[in-house]
Amino acid sequence: MRKLVVLKSVVDFIWIVTCIPAIPLLLFFTVFIFINPDALDILFDIDYSILKTPIITVQVFALLSVILAFISIYCFYLFRKTLRYFQKVKPFHDQVIQNFYKIGYLLSGVGVTASVLFVVAQLLFKGQFKIHLGITPSLMLICLGLFFMVLSEVFKVAKNAKQENDLTI
């Protein structure tokens, strides 16, 4: 139980220090990139001497990146909410199983989308076609998402076994 308290404390710390300030900053950045397109140099490394990329294309990529960041923050929020059920000693609650599946589905989607966006951004902004076959953050997100989906299934099976066990006594 002590490990759960430490995990919940670390997750709450990350939520307060990182996620809560990131939400208004991302909203501001989303509006600011359409007002002042020069702000896009913060997010993307564009070599204007090689390739003339229309600014609207860069803005769309920045908007998609911000959307992926918001989805990641939402996944972290769901994980935080799930830890509350663990603290209440309700690990087999329906909401826990749904949250695990939702986190897995969204993280896998973020990983796949980020991988595709990275390849397309390299092609459009740098004029290079690169596919990274090593361990990338996007690949780790896909693996983490699949793990949460498997964890959801494990908890569903365990919940059914617990219910059957409760009925036999």
**Which segments of the chain does DSSP mark as H helices, in order?**
2-14, 20-35, 55-87, 94-121, 137-168
Model confidence pLDDT, tens digit, residues 147-158: 999 999 999 999
Q: What is the mean pLDDT of the chain?
A: 88
Q: Which residues have CB under 8 Å from 112's CB, separation 6+?
A: 138, 142
User: Does the pLDDT of residue 93 top 50, yes or no?
Assistant: yes
**Span 105-131, mean pLDDT?**
88
pTM: 0.87
Task: Count the alpha carbons within 13 Å of 1 in the hemisphere toward its beta carbon.
Answer: 4
Question: Is the pLDDT score of 65 beyond 80?
Answer: yes
Count of other CB atoms within 10 angstroms of residue 138: 20
Structural domain spans, the chain: 2-168
For the chain, how long is the longest CA-to-CA vector? Answer: 75
What average pLDDT does this structure show over 65-85? 96
Q: Are 110 and 102 in contact (CB under 8 A)?
A: no
Torsion, CA 111, CA 114, CA 116, CA 121, rounded to 10: -160
Q: Residue 108, Cα to own-chain centre: how many angstroms?
A: 8
CA distance 7 to 1: 10
Instruction: Please tell me the predicted confidence (pLDDT) of residue 165.
Output: 83
Cβ atoms of 63 and 43 within 8 Å: the answer is no
Helix (H) or strand (E) holding 43: none
